[in-house]
Structure 1
């Protein structure tokens, strides 16, 4: 489904009572299709990854955790929620399932015995290598027929949008 600017032409702009709409608020109507397409692309990407990765029997949040663990020498369990945008209880459940499958190990933090450090196992490293191949295949399909210049421009624009929305304290 393609989203065109004209389909959002009637989006109302709102200003605070007693104030004139700003130039940025007028531009909101122009951004509505862009933001919708970003959300739609994300939905399609997640679905395609899930379809392609069904043989791994891992959820996308589990993939995210394993990807972070495999590229480090161990991560504090308390740091994982921010890394994968999940709450601490969700991370705890993910780690329980990954440990049960032999993909992750939690151990006491040598600097703080109350805290845990999580490591990927050798089995996880092998799985992550396969998962990355699946991810590369989905990415290749996503950018099929798009020039390198267009991909680079899109990436730069999306990074700027992300930075704008994240705010100065989260970049």
Structure 2
């Protein structure tokens, strides 16, 4: 786990050593939200890096596995809706979809009611790749959560789920209406 002391800070390096532990404790209490922000950012960044390493055997970019993972839960999405949910431009997603289609992981089909609309579906190869991604992801999660018993894992999941709900509520209240929320 990364703590706030491992986050490089030119300001921290310039400060003289602390003289009073009581004063330091008060200072730390006042900055808990800043430490939490750095910790959440560091955990997210490190998890992405580790996940990329775990996915290397599948020869997929992060953007490609992101599309496959999302389609595994929402197969048959309209391509423009997928771009919006993943916060990608239509052209960027179009290139990703082209490469995934060339690799036989997905296919585009016209919508049953509007032939101008394209829906994106996983192929059997894409479904198999998602299964392999899930196995690798589970192995990675076991390593990440090493040292936490089942109750602690459930508490962590519950707390992060509540934080996510709070963030989604703030996002809705602020009018920011894009991005993958699940």
- TM-score interval for Structure 1 and Structure 2 normalised by the shorter chain: 0.7 to 0.9
Give distance in 1, aligned partners of 2:166 and 2:74: 28
The Cα shift of 1:70 comes to: 2.9
Whether the 8 Å CA contact 2:72–2:122 is kept in 1: the answer is yes
Match of 1:3 in 2: 3
Give the 5 Å matches for 1:1-171.
2-4=2-4, 29-167=31-169, 169=172
The Cα shift of 1:74 comes to: 1.3
Whether the 8 Å CA contact 1:67–1:128 is kept in 2: the answer is yes
Aligned length: 154
**Cα distance, 1:116–1:28 mapped onto 2, change above 3 Å:** farther
**Cα distance, 1:136–1:111 mapped onto 2, change above 3 Å:** same
The Cα shift of 1:72 comes to: 4.2
Whether the 8 Å CA contact 1:61–1:84 is kept in 2: the answer is no
Equivalent residue of 1:53, what SS? helix
Q: List alignment gaps of at least 5 residues for structure 2.
A: 12-28
User: 1:21-54: CA deviations, max 9, x gaps?
Assistant: xxxxxx8732111111111111111111111111
Out of 73-82 and 53-62, give the one that drifted further. 73-82
**Cα distance, 1:67–1:2 mapped onto 2, change above 3 Å:** closer
Whether the 8 Å CA contact 1:102–1:123 is kept in 2: the answer is yes
TM-score, length-scaled by structure 2: 0.73
